[in-house]
Structure 1
Amino acid sequence: MKIASGAFTVDPKTGMVRTALSKYSPGSIYKLYVQARDSTPKNANSTTFKQSEVAMLEILAGDRAPQFLSSKYFRKIREDSTVGNSLLLIETHTFRPIDERRTKSHQTFYLLNEISDDESPYFYIEELSGLITLKRALDFDDPSIPKVFKLKDHFLIFHFIVKEDGKENLVPVEFEVEDVNDNSPTFIQPLYTATTKENVKIGKPILQVRAIDKDFGENSRIVYTVDHPDFSVSDSGEISAKKRLNADQNRERFFIYRFNVTAEDRGMPRRRTSATIHIRTENTNDEPPMFVPTREYSTAVAEDAQGGTPVLQIQAVRKRISHFL
């Protein structure tokens, strides 16, 4: 073991240890002692500096695997990224061989799944350059895609490996797949039907619709609307009357309200779809008969009229259904 006097330098601000010689003895271990201290004392009038304990470093001189320029790599990828797009170029620093008569072989790069150590079906890495490209379309909303989840975010986590002369180094690579609003809401059924009385209470749910959106977050949040002035729909899809209904619009004892309900997501751009609503509204006995043309009548009858003699005919009606008395 050698005391590394003048063999290495330490950056006083960053603590980075760097080489100071052009050549080191193969197989030798160099020992360094490093100490840190405050750059300025707490008391401006004091000349006393706080110092740390002494750290001892042992550095082996020998062939070294290529060094990555970062300890971790991270990229965001939209799920609609084009197949063949370049995603990330990972560069490394290679070291000169200790034996200057020997040349190093080319570096080779690999990308392995963190869980299974299999090659990724979605990414391709150029073996000699370290360039990662997309080789298969992503779908944020497809649960069958093998993904590694962190909390509620979608991450694809890999090990990026570089090999050179039998030595290798690895670094974690994370791709976060970003959701794109590429799915429209879909109703469970295209037509919803219900039957109610015309005197149904305003605001009472008559039927409920439901739409689903395979996207996530705001891209999957649905807002419902209806295109009829007599009805409203809640955030949960419950449809109710917002004014008194009327079944006496035809000569039948019922009336069918026909209108559409629309589900729209909150993504950008927004996507929407519609379903048809049929509500059969049945008549109730809520309208008393009315005399026509008036409720006041005047007539005369002979004092010697015999029993059963017609005196006056009156008429009462209820909407379009008439009753004669």
Structure 2
Amino acid sequence: MKRRVVLIVTLFSFCPVLGQVSYSIPEEMAPGSVVGNVAQDLGLDIKRFESGKARVFTGDGTACIELNRERGVLLMKDRIDREMLCRQVTPCALHFQILLENPMEFYRVTVEILDVNDNPPVFMNSNVNFNISESALVGTSFTLDTATDLDVGDNSLKSYFIKPSDTFSIKMNGDEDTRNVEMVLNAPLDREKTDHLSLVLTAVDGGEPQMSGTMQIRVTVLDVNDNAPVFSQPVYKAAIKENAPLGTLVVKVTATDADHGSNGEIIYSITNVAKEIRGLFVINRESGEVTLNGKTDYEISKQYQINVRASDHGGLTGSCKLIVDVLDLNDNRPNIYIMTKSNVISEDAKPNTAVSMIKVEDVDSAENGRVNCFSENDDRFILKSKTANFYTLETDNELDRELTSEYNITITCSDEGVPSLSSSVTLTLHISDVNDNAPVFDRSSYEAYIVENNSPGLSIFTVKATDADWNQNARVSYILEDSSVNGVPVSSYVSVSADSGVIHAVRSFDYEQIKDFQLCVKAQDGGSPPLSSNVTVKILVQDQNDNAPQVLYPVQTGGSLVAEMVPRSADVGYLVTKVVAVDVDSGQNAWLSYKLQKAADRALFEVGSQNGEIRTIRQVTDKDAVKQRLTVIVEDNGQPSRSATVIVNVAVADSFPEVLSEFTDFTHDKEYNDNLTFYLVLALAVVSFLFITCVVVIISVKIYRWRQSRILYHSNLPVIPYYPPRYSDTLGTGTLPHVYNYDTCRTTDSRKSDIKYMQPMSQSLVSVDDVGADSAQNGHQRSANSTLVRNYFHSNLAHLTNIQIDSY
């Protein structure tokens, strides 16, 4: 096998074409035969073929040659018939590319198909009849149909010979492309001797082994017809456009015959036509007009050669050659082939990153076959021309998946024909996500409200953050940042759901303790590394009406009765006193109003609804009772409202004795209820028990000391008499004004005795023992009962202190 290897290596910084290699192989090689070691010839490592997924790429998708990656060799895939592949075109070659990925690159490979002598010469007609006049002169030539041989070069048709050769010989005229074969008369014919001759014309080629084809020639000897038709020109040339309609006139040939009669009548016919163009042209037998009878295609055949024969009725013939050129029309759109492409590209891909490689072909010629390509739809990609008909699609700007996650890039290729034809192909490119966007809250800060006394676990508010990234990079989780509120970790107040961003209360809030606080929530995505952002949330605790008003004045005591004194000379609007109350709630829950609920005489006093001032509403008269009890209710403005009541005792009098006697009688006139009786009995029992106990103890002590003294007396020790100190008598009558209260603590040592004076009362305030202030108020009653028991106990203890205990 003859093989020719040509290796051309071209390096360009901007071009992915790294080299070219050429091989020559004979046609009809068996499948599996080795074409060439392309890895060795290109100087590539076998491992590069494996890692780069090397493959053979052809524009039409068909390949007669395949690549063995493991060996780095090209192998025959299918048997190649050069005649079917290239017909008469020489040289005949296959052009394809070796594609490699990671990085993208390709190499051009050209495989020339060498001809093998596998086709014998073939005549269009196996039998030909000639009518030759017996008067034909020696040397007269008769044009024969030439044979066709599909082989080329040395294997093509080379010569003819005829048998028997005593009457006729073969003569070939013209060059190889326009060669005519003529049968030349070598000896005169004599119809009387021989009226029919049978000849065999043999055509042989130059191949090894030599092949041949034959044609049977039958010659009928006629009477004299001594002028053969003669064409006006030996070669006719014509041109038609490809895809011309059927019946288009190609050319009209003309031949003349000097004979007369039937010997001068000419009939035209087409001879020596290759098999692939038979029937493509027809000729009018009488007029010589050649018309188109089929479809012409410039891309299949650019030129047709036809032999035209003119025959008279006498059997004489003449011939000429018709050459028909096919004119190219722009009837083929460019073909776009995707050599390799990436379906997905990262959004952080650098500019000039190759996305796809394409090859463009236009089978038209000249300007009709010159193609220009460009990309449409987006300015982030650019189509760059590397070499003739090869382009790469590259990134031209930075990509952002959040703006555009998918690109449909249309590549359009147009030729320069008139009118121009174009083809388009759309590449779909997905942009893979990179975690380049942090979560963003829908607000710069939040304010949330929660009503106090809430249940733990109550949902307060929801923060929401979005991430423009995709999938895991956009999965947002929420984290409560560490901080403190009044020295307490914020996590003991609220918690944040990591998935939903819902803020829950961890404890029940009290508006009176904390009115608001701030916390910081971080939103973090699931990328690697993760990105995050923070937002401040202010929680405002809303007040509930959960506190009743508290009365600060007048003070409600349990042991005494407090009364405000109003002189009988008081005018209308006289300020008796002012009820002072507060509410620890806020807002309308702390708005207080005052109302007189109960009064002995509603026509005498009124309460200011806003300020709580108690004033007279008429002139005080002598008929008005000294003792006046007012019940004032204090209400807030909450929903529902809460209230507190306060009792204000008012004494209508001009002097303290009058007030004191009135309130004393008022005290003793009260009926004791069952509880008071119980406490009195209990007090008497306790005092009696203590008295008896003291007497027993004193007697026991005296007996003990007496016995000790007797023992001492009978002993020999000196006796020192003992005289105990006398107890002082403190039961004298006091000289302090009766309007003063005082307490006394009495002991045998006058230096340790104490008198505690109370502050004198104002003229408008009288304090007396409130033994039976209000039977409905048990607290006050119990306080009064305690006072009686205490007074009784002090009286008896005073008597006990007067007992004189003399030592023996």
1:244 is displaced (CA, Å) by: 2.5
Matched, 1:203 2:564: no
Contact 1:65 1:169 in 2 (8 A): yes
Tell me the residue number matched to 1:88.
461
Matched, 1:238 2:238: no
- The C-alpha deviation readout for 1:180-205, integer Å capped at 9, x for no partner, is 21111110123652112122111021
Using a 3 Å threshold, how does the CA distance of structure 1 residues 167 and 244 change in structure 2: closer, same or farther?
Answer: same
Using a 3 Å threshold, how does the CA distance of structure 1 residues 130 and 279 change in structure 2: closer, same or farther?
Answer: same
Contact 1:210 1:237 in 2 (8 A): yes
Matched, 1:172 2:536: yes
Contact 1:110 1:160 in 2 (8 A): yes
Tell me the residue number matched to 2:548.
184
Contact 1:248 1:283 in 2 (8 A): no
Which consecutive residues of structure 1, in runs of 5 or more, have no partner in the other structure?
8-16, 25-60, 146-153, 285-325
Tell me the residue number matched to 2:174.
none
Tell me the residue number matched to 1:277.
648
Q: Distance in 2 between matches of 1:78 and 1:70?
A: 23
Using a 3 Å threshold, how does the CA distance of structure 1 residues 269 and 18 change in structure 2: closer, same or farther?
Answer: farther
1:105 is displaced (CA, Å) by: 8.3
Structure index of larger Rg: 2
Contact 1:77 1:178 in 2 (8 A): yes
Using a 3 Å threshold, how does the CA distance of structure 1 residues 195 and 87 change in structure 2: closer, same or farther?
Answer: same
Q: Distance in 2 between matches of 1:223 and 1:103?
A: 60
- 1:48-59 maps to which residues of 2 (within 5 A)? none
Matched, 1:65 2:438: yes
1:247 is displaced (CA, Å) by: 5.1
Contact 1:247 1:282 in 2 (8 A): no
User: Which residue identity lines up with residue 271 of structure 1 in the other structure?
Assistant: R
Using a 3 Å threshold, how does the CA distance of structure 1 residues 120 and 246 change in structure 2: closer, same or farther?
Answer: farther
Let me know the Cα RMSD of the aligned residues: 3.5
Tell me the residue number matched to 2:403.
20
Q: Distance in 1 between matches of 2:535 and 2:563?
A: 59
Contact 2:450 2:540 in 1 (8 A): yes
User: Which residue identity lines up with residue 220 of structure 1 in the other structure?
Assistant: A
User: Which residue identity lines up with residue 161 of structure 1 in the other structure?
Assistant: K
1:174 is displaced (CA, Å) by: 2.4
SS in 2 for 1:219: helix
Q: Distance in 1 between matches of 2:475 and 2:544?
A: 43
User: Which residue identity lines up with residue 231 of structure 1 in the other structure?
Assistant: F
Tell me the residue number matched to 1:160.
521
Using a 3 Å threshold, how does the CA distance of structure 1 residues 105 and 223 change in structure 2: closer, same or farther?
Answer: closer
- 1:77-116 maps to which residues of 2 (within 5 A)? 77-94=450-467, 96=469, 107-113=477-483
SS in 1 for 2:635: strand
Contact 1:246 1:281 in 2 (8 A): no
1:159 is displaced (CA, Å) by: 1.7
Q: Distance in 1 between matches of 2:577 and 2:453?
A: 37
Tell me the residue number matched to 1:123.
494
SS in 1 for 2:588: helix
Using a 3 Å threshold, how does the CA distance of structure 1 residues 261 and 187 change in structure 2: closer, same or farther?
Answer: same
- 1:215-230 maps to which residues of 2 (within 5 A)? 215-226=585-596, 227-228=598-599, 229=602, 230=604
Contact 1:6 1:20 in 2 (8 A): no
Using a 3 Å threshold, how does the CA distance of structure 1 residues 126 and 103 change in structure 2: closer, same or farther?
Answer: closer
User: Which residue identity lines up with residue 198 of structure 1 in the other structure?
Assistant: R
Q: Distance in 1 between matches of 2:595 and 2:473?
A: 72
1:263 is displaced (CA, Å) by: 0.8
Pick 1 or 2: higher relative contact order, CA cutoff 8 A, min separation 6: 1
Q: Distance in 1 between matches of 2:512 and 2:488?
A: 24
User: Which residue identity lines up with residue 519 of structure 2 in the other structure?
Assistant: F
SS in 1 for 2:589: helix
Tell me the residue number matched to 1:43.
none
What is the aligned counterpart of 1:213 among 563, 577, 583?
Answer: 583
Using a 3 Å threshold, how does the CA distance of structure 1 residues 203 and 264 change in structure 2: closer, same or farther?
Answer: same
Q: How many correspondences in the alignment?
A: 220
Q: Distance in 2 between matches of 1:214 and 1:72?
A: 30
Q: Distance in 1 between matches of 2:488 and 2:614?
A: 52
Q: Distance in 2 between matches of 1:139 and 1:270?
A: 18
- The C-alpha deviation readout for 1:149-198, integer Å capped at 9, x for no partner, is xxxxx543322112344432111222222222111111012365211212
Q: Distance in 1 between matches of 2:624 and 2:405?
A: 100
User: Which residue identity lines up with residue 232 of structure 1 in the other structure?
Assistant: E
SS in 2 for 1:206: strand
Tell me the residue number matched to 1:292.
none
Tell me the residue number matched to 2:629.
258
Tell me the residue number matched to 2:510.
139
SS in 1 for 2:453: coil
1:73 is displaced (CA, Å) by: 2.8
Tell me the residue number matched to 1:52.
none
Q: Distance in 1 between matches of 2:500 and 2:586?
A: 36
Which consecutive residues of structure 2, in runs of 5 or more, have no partner in the other structure?
1-349, 352-377, 381-399, 408-433, 656-808
SS in 2 for 1:19: coil
Q: Distance in 2 between matches of 1:135 and 1:6?
A: 54
TM-score, scaled to structure 1: 0.57
- The C-alpha deviation readout for 1:269-296, integer Å capped at 9, x for no partner, is 1211100010111158xxxxxxxxxxxx
1:233 is displaced (CA, Å) by: 1.6
Q: Distance in 2 between matches of 1:282 and 1:69?
A: 73
Percent of matched pairs sharing the same residue: 22
Q: Distance in 1 between matches of 2:653 and 2:440?
A: 80
Q: Distance in 2 between matches of 1:141 and 1:158?
A: 20
1:103 is displaced (CA, Å) by: 7.2
Q: Distance in 2 between matches of 1:246 and 1:103?
A: 90
**Of Structure 1 and Structure 2, which has the larger fraction of its residues in helix?**
2
1:214 is displaced (CA, Å) by: 0.7
Q: Distance in 2 between matches of 1:170 and 1:63?
A: 17
